Amino acid sequence: MLRMIIRTVCVAALLLPSATIVSAQAWLGDRARREGPGFRVGNLELHPGIGVEGGYDSNVFMSDEPVGSAIFRITPHFDVSTLGEQRREDGGEERTQAPKVQFRAGVAAPIYVFLEDQARNDVGINGDLELSILPDGPVTFSVYDRFSRRVRPFTESGAGNDFGRITNVAGGNLRFQTRGGVFSANLGYDLTWQFFENDAFDFGNALIHRAEAGANFRFLPHTTLFYDFTADFTNYQDPSVLRVSDNVRVRNRVGLNGALTPRLSALVAVGYGAVLVDDPTLRDFDTVIAQAELRLKLSPTTKLTFGYERDFLGSVIGNWRTRDRGYLNFQWLLGGSFLLGFDSWVGYLKFGTIVDSSGAPITVDGSTERSDVMVNLSLFAEYRFTDWLALNATVGYTGDFTDFEYDRLIGMSPVVDPADFSKFQAWLGVRVFY
């Protein structure tokens, strides 16, 4: 049983702290896309909506032996905010001064119904709120909270079929800027709580304290020199399956973001990052981090973005993983009604030392190293019949290619269990939003 849990640990690690699998609705993550005309109630605007979708997932449990399932998904959602600039202007109100307080909150509850018996029907939750004081002033203070309960299966069901995982990020930010915003700087802090509802995944429960700072200097109308810094202090609550350790991840970057021509803009950044691990038996890590990106405006409603990024992330296997990836994104809006979007990236991932809680390898051949090549593709299309009714479709592919193999026990015999997997998804739905 322990070796089965270790196998589930390692698959789950690919999703933490950020999801790499295309599974969320493209329209749900973009407020401008999911909100319609809205209702005005005093100084607030309300945006209710609901989406109904049917789809198919070719590999629900992300296994080398795929199990597919048809899925139904119903997603009610609701957003509320203080009046935006357009709403204030439409109401004929004089804007003699910028608003002193801005507030925005939203909640969505995707309901999943699987036709595969091994997958559990469940309800996810996504919620967020943000309050800004003096948003356009020389000093702005903001507080925010982002909550999610994800319920999609993320590994084989050998440790049970409860895949609920909760993440909550709460924090604040203080921003300073000169008149006209030529120079700005910010200081921030947030606390992330990461919790798995199934006791078998307690290894992933963690508290992450983040301190961040940054500065921007705009020296041309559309060009900015920037610097950003983050320090993440991760504390694992129950590292009883794999040997993971409390650690500190530090990241510094300096870069330039601006327009080269009216249609072409670019971002270039370079920096240094390091992981400092408390456990002396596990290795620290440092590296150069970098990003280079080009953005091409093919037409007023057609955009193409592509680039390269080297970065590192926290991980419950090996404590960290590096990621070198190339990405390409495309968006085309036709006639204000039809939207076509394509997001893709291909990356090379390399993990730190992987051993169980006793320090022993978890592979048959005794290897403690792992590297993966991941491919992530997603195509989204939506047609709006009116400003409150739309039809949408999404197809996606995720592939994880690695020669890493787990040591599992079937009875009393060790069995090699490959870690790689591939999955396709397709969704068709309709949504009503106001």
Residue 162 banded pLDDT, cuts 50, 70, 90: confident
Backbone dihedral angles phi then psi of residue 33, each to the nearest 5 degrees: -85, -40
Tokens of 300: 């007023």
**Structure-token match 């040591």, residue found:** 407
Label the pairing between strands 139-150 and 165-177.
antiparallel
Q: Work out the average pLDDT over 76-91.
A: 80
Give the pLDDT confidence of 140-157 residue by residue, as tens digits.
999 999 999 999 987 766
Say how far apart CA 259 and CA 220 lie, in whole Å: 9
Give the pLDDT confidence of 246-292 residue by residue, as tens digits.
999 999 999 999 999 999 999 999 999 999 999 888 889 999 999 99
Contact 323, 346 (CB under 8 A): no
Contact 36, 388 (CB under 8 A): yes
The closest of 348, 345, 427 to 382, measured between CA atoms, is: 427
Q: 366: helix, coil or strand?
A: coil
- The Cβ of residue 86 has, within 10 Å, a number of other Cβ atoms equal to 9
Q: What confidence score (pLDDT) does residue 156 get?
A: 67
Q: What confidence score (pLDDT) does residue 19 get?
A: 45
Q: Work out the average pLDDT over 41-51.
A: 95
Q: 90: helix, coil or strand?
A: helix
Residue 359 banded pLDDT, cuts 50, 70, 90: confident
Q: How many whole angstroms from its chain centre is CA 202?
A: 21
Question: Which has more confidence, 39 or 155?
Answer: 39
Contact 82, 88 (CB under 8 A): no
Contact 167, 148 (CB under 8 A): yes
Q: What confidence score (pLDDT) does residue 89 get?
A: 62
Paired residues of 423 in beta bridges: 398
Structural domains of the chain, ranges and CATH numbers in brackets: 2-433 (2.40.160)
Say how far apart CA 243 and CA 241 lie, in whole Å: 7
